[in-house]
């Protein structure tokens, strides 16, 4: 009976991995949710690791590359930690696969889009200093919400809006 349970657990785990890649923690939680005991989960995970189907390092790499929406390192780190990837693995993976230049480029592309959207809302109106200030504040807040650091937001806003003048 134990072998049958192992086969069922392995089949379930492989089916889950067939839909999308998962972290070790995600797979443990899903197997636990189905009622498989820790010994059985450990056996299944050991075999999946042996086959290369579970590898949190490569998961981080793929996650960073496949991110559709532009996001900053802070958001990516938070999401990966929530998925159960070890903090050290996340930090090394982000350092290796998401350079400051890439993050700046992603932030700038998003900032240009957001800046123009904010400006379009005020089309036909005389752009007052207060409205201008509101536009860059909205843009900055949205960039920060996407996980970009304050330093990156400042650099990008200076590029997007040459009139940007923010005293630290």
* pLDDT tens by residue, 103-144: 999 999 999 998 888 765 555 555 677 777 888 888 999 999
168 assigned to some structural domain: no
Same domain as 35, residue 71? no
The tokens of 47 are what?
């075999």
13 assigned to some structural domain: yes
Q: Are 156 and 104 in contact (CB under 8 A)?
A: yes
Phi-psi region of 78 (alpha: psi -120 to 50; beta: other; left: phi over 0): alpha
- Total number of domains constituting the chain: 3
Same domain as 152, residue 104? yes
Q: Are 139 and 122 in contact (CB under 8 A)?
A: no
166 assigned to some structural domain: no
Domain residues for the domain of 127 are 100-160
Choose the most confident range, by mean pLDDT, from 24-28, 67-71, 124-128: 24-28
Q: Are 85 and 23 in contact (CB under 8 A)?
A: yes
CA distance 72 to 24: 24
- Which pTM value belongs to this model? 0.80
Is residue 67 scored above 90 in pLDDT?
A: no
Same domain as 50, residue 5? yes
Same domain as 64, residue 50? no
């Amino acid at each position: 009976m134990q072998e049958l349970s192992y086969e069922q657990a392995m089949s379930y785990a492989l089916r889950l991995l067939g839909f999308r890649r998962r972290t070790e923690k995600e797979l443990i939680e899903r197997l636990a949710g189905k009622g498989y005991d820790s010994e059985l989960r450990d056996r299944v995970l050991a075999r999946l690791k042996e086959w290369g189907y579970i590898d949190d390092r490569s998961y981080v790499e793929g996650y960073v590359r496949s991110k559709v929406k532009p996001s900053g390192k802070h958001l990516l780190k938070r999401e990966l930690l929530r998925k159960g990837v070890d903090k050290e693995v996340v930090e090394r993976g982000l350092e290796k696969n998401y350079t400051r230049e890439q993050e700046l480029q992603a932030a700038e592309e998003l900032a240009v889009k957001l800046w123009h959207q904010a400006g379009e809302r005020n089309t036909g109106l005389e752009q007052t200093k207060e409205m201008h200030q509101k536009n860059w504040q909205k843009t900055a807040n949205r960039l920060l919400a996407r996980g970009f650091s304050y330093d990156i937001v400042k650099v990008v806003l200076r590029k997007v809006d040459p009139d940007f003048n923010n005293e630290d």
